[in-house]
């Protein structure tokens, strides 16, 4: 599915490959997400990252280490951790914009379900322009 020549994970490809094999159904179901212009990160109920598309890997994977298979909770403040737990427990959405290093992004976080049961959280992060049209339809 992904080229082994990608600079982002060349250093840890063997561990990543093993993770992909373990989570083949997830990766196959989310193959469409690879070519999108937004970062898509999926975690399970405990906060373990189970899928990252290429933009997510470029954003969150640092120094040759992947977040795949790692718990994302230590990367968040106590306040953010509580908000994530609340979203999963109450099946609610969190949406906001940020400005990081001069790049404006919209962050959309929502629980994801399998067979009607909440199984974790998905975060979609996309770059947005400083000014955007807003339509009332």
pLDDT of residue 34: 86
DSSP labels, 52-91: E-HHHHHHH-BTTB--TTSBSGGGS-HHHHHHHHHHHHHT
In a domain, 11, yes or no: yes
Q: Is-contact 69 21, C-beta < 8 A?
A: no
Confidence check: pLDDT of 20 > 70:
no
Average pLDDT, the chain: 82
Residue 57 has pLDDT above 70, yes or no: yes
| CA terminus-to-terminus distance, the chain | 39
In the chain, how many domains are there?
1
Residue 2 lies in a domain: no
pLDDT above 70 (res 25): no
| pLDDT of amino acid 60 | 87
How far does CA 30 lie from the centroid of its chain?
A: 12
| Model confidence at 16: pLDDT above 90 | no
Check residue 30 and give its pLDDT.
77
Q: Provide the 10 A C-beta neighbour count for residue 3.
A: 8
What confidence score (pLDDT) does residue 26 get? 63
In a domain, 29, yes or no: yes
Would 44 be classed as within a structural domain?
Answer: yes
Distance, CA of 53 to CA of 137 (rounded, Å): 32
Residue 133 lies in a domain: no
**Domain ranges, residue 77:** 7-127
Residue 56 has pLDDT above 70, yes or no: yes
**Tokens 């929502």 label which residue?**
110
Q: Is residue 132 part of a domain?
A: no
For residue 108, what pLDDT is reported? 97
| Within-domain flag for 137 | no
Residue 134 lies in a domain: no
* Mean pLDDT across 26-33: 74
Dihedral in degrees, nearest 10, Cα atoms 55, 28, 48, 6: -40
pTM of the model: 0.77
Max avg pLDDT among 3-7, 16-20, 89-93, 113-117: 89-93
Binning pLDDT at 50, 70 and 90, where does residue 13 land?
very low
Q: What is the CATH number of the domain that holds 40?
A: 3.30.450.20
Cα 120 to Cα 42: distance, rounded to the nearest angstrom:
7
Residue 41 burial (CB count, 10 A) = 24
Residue 11 and residue 66: Cα distance in Å, rounded?
10
């Amino acid at each position: 599915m992904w080229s082994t020549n990608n600079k982002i994970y060349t250093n840890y490809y063997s561990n990543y490959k093993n993770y992909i094999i373990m989570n083949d159904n997830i990766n196959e179901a989310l193959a469409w997400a690879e070519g999108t212009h937004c970062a898509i990160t999926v975690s399970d109920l405990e906060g373990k990252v189970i899928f990252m598309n290429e933009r997510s890997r470029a954003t969150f994977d640092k120094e040759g280490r992947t977040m795949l298979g790692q718990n994302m909770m230590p990367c968040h403040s106590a306040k953010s951790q509580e908000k994530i737990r609340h979203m999963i427990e109450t099946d609610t959405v969190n949406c906001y914009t940020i400005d990081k290093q001069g790049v404006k992004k919209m962050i959309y976080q929502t629980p994801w379900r399998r067979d009607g049961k909440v199984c974790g959280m998905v975060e979609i992060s996309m770059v947005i322009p400083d000014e955007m049209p807003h339509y009332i339809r």
